[in-house]
A = this chain, B = another copy of it.
C-alpha cells in the first residue's frame, strides 16, 4: 500500500425525507443562496421540499446553471449573492450544479476577479483563505462532487475548461435522498451508473499493491452497480436499488477506493477529448474507451484483470487469457445492458476524428497517461481505433 492522505469531512444525510434535515445544518439567521440547474427540481418537488426546510430563513434562488457550468453564468450568481449579502450557498442538483456552486462559494470570498481562482489553481498557486459554507442536495448520483473538494469550470467565451480544488469548498453537508432520483430520465440514470463504475475501475484496475480493504471496497461497489444498475432502469421507483446506486456512486469517489493505490484515469482523459470533439455524454465516452483500453493494456494490467474477473464476474475457469477476455466482454455487456453503446459507431458517428483527438491530447500534455505513464499517444490512437 502506498502512503496516502485522506480527508472526507462532508456530513452525509442519507435517505428518504432527509431534505428536511437541512433545517438543522443551516443557522436560522442565515442568508442563503439556493442554486440549481434546469427546471427539473421545480417539477419534481425537490425545490419545494428545500424551500419548506429553509422555512423563514432569508433565501434567494439562482437557477439555470448548465451542464459543464459556464463562468459567465456563475459570475451572475456571485453578483446576486454579493448584492444580497448571502452567507450560505445551498446547491440543489447534480455534479454540474455542485461544481458551479463550489466556484460561487469560493468567488464570494475572493477579492480578485473570479476567473483567477481557476488560473491560479492551474498555475499551482491557488491559496483560498475561505469560502462561503456550502451545502448540497444531490439529485443525480454520478460525479462524487457532493463529498469532494474539486470542481471543473468552463469558460465558453474563451474555450477554457479548468479545475480547482480547495478544502474550503468541501460541502459541509450533503443530502442524499434516493427518492429524488426516481424521476431521472433513463439516459441520466444509466450515465450515472456507468460513470460511477468507471470511477472505481480507474482507481482499482491498475497494478496490485496489496491494498486489501481498498480492493474489496472497489469490488463491492462494482458488484452493487452490476446488480442494481439494471434494476433501477426497469424499476425506477425501487427504493432499495436506488439507495444502493446512490450510495455506491458517492463511495466511488469520496477517496476511500483510491487511498494508497495507483490510479489510472487514462480512460477519462481520452473521454474528455471525445466529448469536446464529438459531443458524446461523459459516460458514453467512458463506455466506449474503457473496454478498448482494458484490451490494449491487458498485459500491463494482467494481475488485476484476473482478480477483477474472479471477484466481480465470477470467472474462475479456463485459461488466464480466456478469463481476461471474459471480464472485458462482461464489462462491455454491462454497459450495453445499461443502454450505453460501447463503440463510437453506436452513437451514429461513422468516422471519429481520431487525428484531431490525438492533437488535443498532445496540446493538453496527455502523452503519458495511466498509472505508470504507459498510455502514449500511440496507445491512445490504438484505443480510439478499437473504440470506433
Contact = CB atoms under 8 A, between A and B. Distances in A.
Contacts of A13: 5
A16 B1 contact: no
A182 to B, nearest CB: 15
A300 interface: no
A108 to B, nearest CB: 23
B6 A12 contact: yes
Given A211-B244, A223-B216, A11 B5 contact: yes
Interface in A205-225: 210-217, 219-221, 223-224
Q: How many copies does the complex hold?
A: 2
A144 to B, nearest CB: 14
A102 B248 CA distance: 32
Interface residues of A, number: 42
Interface string A1-45: 111111111011111111001000000000000000000000000
A104 interface: no
Interface in A109-158: none
Interface string A243-271: 11001100100001001100000000000
A240 interface: yes
A220 B217 contact: yes
A228 interface: yes
A224 B216 CA distance: 9
